[in-house]
Structure 1
Amino acid sequence: MRKSRLAAGMVAVFALSSTLAACSAGSSTDDDGKLTFMFRGGEDEKAAYTAAIERFEAETGVDVDIVVTDADQYSTKLQAAIAGNNVPDVFYIEQASLQSYVTSGILLDITDKVEAQGIDLDNIWEYGVDSYRYDGKVQGTPDGQLYGLPKDVGPFAMGYNKTMLEAEGIELPSTDTPYTWDEWLEVLKAVTKDTDGDGEVDQWGTGLNVVWNSQGFAWSNGADWTNADHTEVTVDTPEMAEALQYIADMTNVDKVTPNAEQAATLDTYQRWMAGELAFFPVGPWDVSVYNDLEFDYDLIPFPAGKTGEPATWVGSLGIGVSATTAMPDDATKLAVYLSTDEEAQKTLVDAGIQVPNLKDMAAEWAAEEGAEPANRQEFLDIVETYGRPMPAAVTYGAAWYDEMWTNIQPVIDGEQTAADYLAEVQPRMQTLLDEANAAASAAAEANAAKG
């Protein structure tokens, strides 16, 4: 599948922690009377933020310089700015980089400044707010200090090609009750076929990327990547093996997904866009593009494993304030404005790049007549009830998690069982997680020693 905005940030997290560790928290931002806001995004996002910031400037009299990059360049350019002691006043932050930023003295604790503005945090998704809380040991705790506000929340739903299912005479899936794995597989088999009679399959049930699509299957089957305090890697379980094997068997046994050769010709994201897949995951960042496709699509819960409950991940980007900004009050006002102001949120939501941060606005948005996709409520249900952070989103670096995928291809190709692979990879992941936790403790001690 296409690399999401979340993916672009997470792959650079471990390298970023090294850069931060080498930087001094004593860097300073020039006081030129202007704020610098650095973010990443395409043309839609750039236009939406430009419009929102122009209103902020008019309302506050504060000038803001905008620095925007594409997703792949953002982390590199931000690292360079940090290394050069030229940290932007306000900037996007990844969940997985929060602890590194905090322990390295890069992020400002904005708890008191946000409270002083009288912002109703209860009307913002708890998941979004808590993602940027950190108490020095645990990220995501409601009691932690606030080091950012959510730019957005990113629920990852399952989408389906309504036009295809109707053409095949298949009953449309429920928006409330998830498919079981067996039920879903039967539908996938029913739609996988050669539609033009040339002897080659050209329509498939789905096309999943194991790195970004396996989480919901694992969680709904009772598996997880770590224990509750993120000190033990727990991937070597029958529940995790069953989930990964289910995904691999879709290609090698059930043949309801494009094989490696077919995916190399046209990847599954492109095949979904071309109307060749019946089911494919959908994030809010996809909506502006998907709404222009030549087929109707909608959202449903991810199919559920043995727990009977759906599961998926919900990501987030945050907006943080530099600890060394010369304008901390104005910088915090900008972060608050972009995250919580109703007009700013409307501009971003209307651009089709996110769901509203404000709960009351989100409820109206989901119930909007003629909405595309029709079941927008699925996005909100994920944020509010069954979405979880990605496994590495609340740890100090992602190297331990990335190790899971480094040598997984033999499983996907049917050359190794998932159970055997997980038994091999768990010790390597554990070593990396131990190193990450030790680095987190050392960085916290070093920062505390600086006073």
Structure 2
Amino acid sequence: MKSHSLALLTAVLMSAGLTACSSGGGSEGAAGERTALDVWLMRDSVSAAFQKEFETGFEKAHPDIDVKIQIQEWEGVGEKVTAALASNDAPDVIEVGNTQVAQYAQSGGLTDFTDQVDELGGDKWLKGLAEPGSYEGRQYGIPFYAANRVVVYRTDLFEKAGVDAGRIKTRDQWIAATRKLDRGGTQGIYLPGQNWYALAGFIWDEGGDLAVETEGRWRGALDSPAALRAMAFYQRLQALGKGPEDSDEARPPQAEVMAKGEVAQIIATPGNANVVVQNNPGLKGKLGFFPVPGKSARTPGAVFTGGSDLVVPAVAAHQAEALTFLRELTGDAWQKKLAAAMSYVPNKTTLAGAVASDPGAAAMAAGAARGHATPNTPRWAAVEAKNPVKEYMTAVLTGRDPKTEAAKASRAITATLNSAS
């Protein structure tokens, strides 16, 4: 999985100019002409080889449509999409981060696909992609692909400690195994104090949430009993290594820390294994993956689902052709090809087998079945900008009272979510 899929969720939107997009005009061209369908996909979401294969296959099946894919950069794309939705020259299809759909839908700038959910296989969509693709009960984002965190581990250190990763199915087993690994100069796990995505998974496992909505008003929920239990578990796990209490997984990059050879596990997307090996070629062939364990052996732990949805601007000139594009690219045949080509999790629970031969993607797919997204409100981006969750975690890990700090962070979340845009 490419790291951008998760990094985009916390990126601050930067300004960028709007480039020319749609060819304009209606869906019907002059006799014998093909309809040019303008599509924005994001950098590294598809490889050049997959893009060429898809365009060739799509146009063979739909010879009246000429697909024109433009690759966009993640940096600054928020401003660019906002400008496109407000223009009269928008592209026909745009890839956006799954948690960004609500802010674009709020403006009324997206096409409503609620009536097409059934034909697009919506009953099988991953919850972590489908739910943030909706807004106020209507479906605007069509799930494209998913990625989530797993446990990346050192197979040699596990073997040396007598730990069988395949038998770690519960949180208690995970703690016991990590405690065995945390000795002799080896960190049982490198878990920074502010990895709030990991904490969110533990909160969902406990039946809680980061924030809840009641009758149109949001309330921060870090002070709920469920969320406090999750923080207590995080504290136990984090203590079995030397992760800093006051920074997140990007400062310093945890894959680079693991590459130094003294870390048995990290919680990360599988693509981080490639970074580890790039920094320490001696670890090639010594890294494995398993889903984040849950409270019960029956199900993996809940995880935050990153990834993308596809949206269609309400002003797009070629609505019918755009729906055809969505039907193809998010359909089973091309989803299987995309998963194999990019090591992504397909958009439907029924397609998990498409990545069975890829250990990292298979571990992601197992967790994705229990994936969640951040609270589905356009104001959540403002919460992440200040991120009182991180401050709360550091406060607890440095000895402050969990209940007091959780209440403080929850009040901050409440104020931000209910403030004017």
Aligned position for 2:32? none
Task: Name which of 378, 392, 398 aligns with 1:414.
Answer: 398
Aligned length: 395
Please tell me whether the aligned partners of residues 340 and 354 of structure 2 are also in contact (alpha carbons under 8 angstroms): no
Q: Give per-residue Cα distances to partners, 1:198-255, cap 9 Å, x unaligned.
A: xxx464423244222111222334442223546222212354344335435655xx35
1:294 to 2:285 alignment: yes
Q: Give per-residue Cα distances to partners, 1:130-187, cap 9 Å, x unaligned.
A: 54234xx34xxxxx4x323111133433333323201222233426x3132xx43343
Pick closer, same or farther for the CA change 1:133–1:238 going to 2, 3 Å. closer
Aligned positions of 1:119-130 closer than 5 A: 119-122=120-123, 124-125=125-126, 128-130=129-131
Letter in 1 for 2:378: Y
State the alpha-carbon separation in 2 of the partners of residues 130 and 250 from structure 1.
Answer: 30
State the alpha-carbon separation in 2 of the partners of residues 326 and 109 from structure 1.
Answer: 15
Aligned-CA RMSD value: 3.9
Q: Give per-residue Cα distances to partners, 1:71-108, cap 9 Å, x unaligned.
A: 33432433444455543210112333323322312111
Pick closer, same or farther for the CA change 1:265–1:379 going to 2, 3 Å. closer
1:400 to 2:403 alignment: no
Please tell me whether the aligned partners of residues 204 and 258 of structure 1 are also in contact (alpha carbons under 8 angstroms): no
Letter in 2 for 1:277: V
Task: Name which of 30, 48, 60 aligns with 2:24.
Answer: 30
The percentage of counterpart residues that share the same residue type is 19
Aligned positions of 1:12-161 closer than 5 A: 12=12, 30-31=24-25, 33-42=35-44, 45-61=47-63, 62-82=65-85, 85-112=88-115, 118-122=119-123, 124-125=125-126, 128-134=129-135, 137-138=136-137, 144=138, 146-161=139-154
1:387 to 2:371 alignment: yes
State the alpha-carbon separation in 2 of the partners of residues 419 and 308 from structure 1.
Answer: 29
Q: Give per-residue Cα distances to partners, 1:371-409, cap 9 Å, x unaligned.
A: 231792x4344333x33222x3x1122123553236347
Task: Name which of 331, 334, 344 aligns with 2:325.
Answer: 334
Q: Give per-residue Cα distances to partners, 1:28-67, cap 9 Å, x unaligned.
A: 9723942221122328645423431232123223222222
Q: Give per-residue Cα distances to partners, 1:3-35, cap 9 Å, x unaligned.
A: 65233144447x89xx9xxxxxxx997239422
Aligned positions of 1:329-368 closer than 5 A: 329-342=320-333, 344-363=334-353, 365-366=355-356
Provide TM-score, normalisation by structure 2.
0.77
Structure 2 runs not aligned, ≥5 long: 30-34, 279-283
State the alpha-carbon separation in 2 of the partners of residues 92 and 189 from structure 1.
Answer: 42
Provide TM-score, normalisation by structure 1.
0.73
Please tell me whether the aligned partners of residues 5 and 147 of structure 2 are also in contact (alpha carbons under 8 angstroms): no
Which secondary structure state, in structure 2, belongs to the residue aligned with residue 91 of structure 1? strand
1:428 to 2:420 alignment: no
Structure 1 runs not aligned, ≥5 long: 20-26, 139-143, 195-200, 440-451
Letter in 2 for 1:346: K
Letter in 2 for 1:388: H
